[in-house]
Amino acid sequence: MHRPKPPRLHIFGHIHEGHGVSYDGKTMYVNASIVTLDYSPDNPCIVIDLPKSVNETASLVVPGGCDMTAKEILQWLGEHDCDSILPYFERATPRLEGKDVIPPDGVLYEHVFKRLNINSGGYVAEGVRRALMRLRAELHHRK
């Protein structure tokens, strides 16, 4: 009897608190939910490399943090229509660098909010979340 080969990749996103990747030796499972359990869009993007050859396994692509200087962060914000949050980054002392906003082990929004002196539930925090998610996604393309 012929048994179908298990998929190399299975992507889903409904279990908000289960964001992440697991692997059972045959299939990579990706819970790509962008929202947390409280429906806050704080989960970072997940990038997977799926080779064309069906004999090769899928692999997780990790950006490895951000090495931008504080000046480059400000410039990036200015170039990406982030005018509403730019003043908060300009006033931060010391200024935030790439390693502060996108550490290698993930996005730590609460730390950034504290450094910017903003409330995590306000519209400014939402703008910061969106900007950092976009920056993190762009880091994948720079590799």
Q: What is the pLDDT of residue 34?
A: 84
Range from 19-23, 100-104, 107-111, 115-119 carrying the lowest mean pLDDT:
107-111
Q: 59-99 pLDDT, tens per residue? A: 888 767 789 999 999 999 999 999 999 999 999 999 999 98
Q: Which has the closest alpha carbon to 6: 52, 60, 54? A: 54
The average pLDDT across 115-131 equals 90
pLDDT over 60 at 28, yes or no = yes
Q: What share of the chain is helix, strand, coil (3-state, %, to 5)?
A: 35, 15, 50
Between residues 45 and 26, which one has the greater pLDDT? 26
Q: Is 106 helix (H, G, I), strand (E, B) or coil?
A: coil
Q: Is the pLDDT of residue 58 over 80?
A: yes
Average pLDDT rounded to a whole number, residues 44-72 = 87
Q: Is there a contact between 92 and 74 (Cβ–Cβ < 8 Å)?
A: no
Query: E strand or H helix at 29, and its extent?
Result: strand 28-31
Separation CA 12–CA 33 (nearest Å): 7
Instruction: Say whether pLDDT at 141 is over 70.
Output: no
Rounded-to-integer distance, Cα 107 and Cα 111, Å = 9
Packing angle between helix 109-116 and helix 123-142, nearest 10 degrees? 120
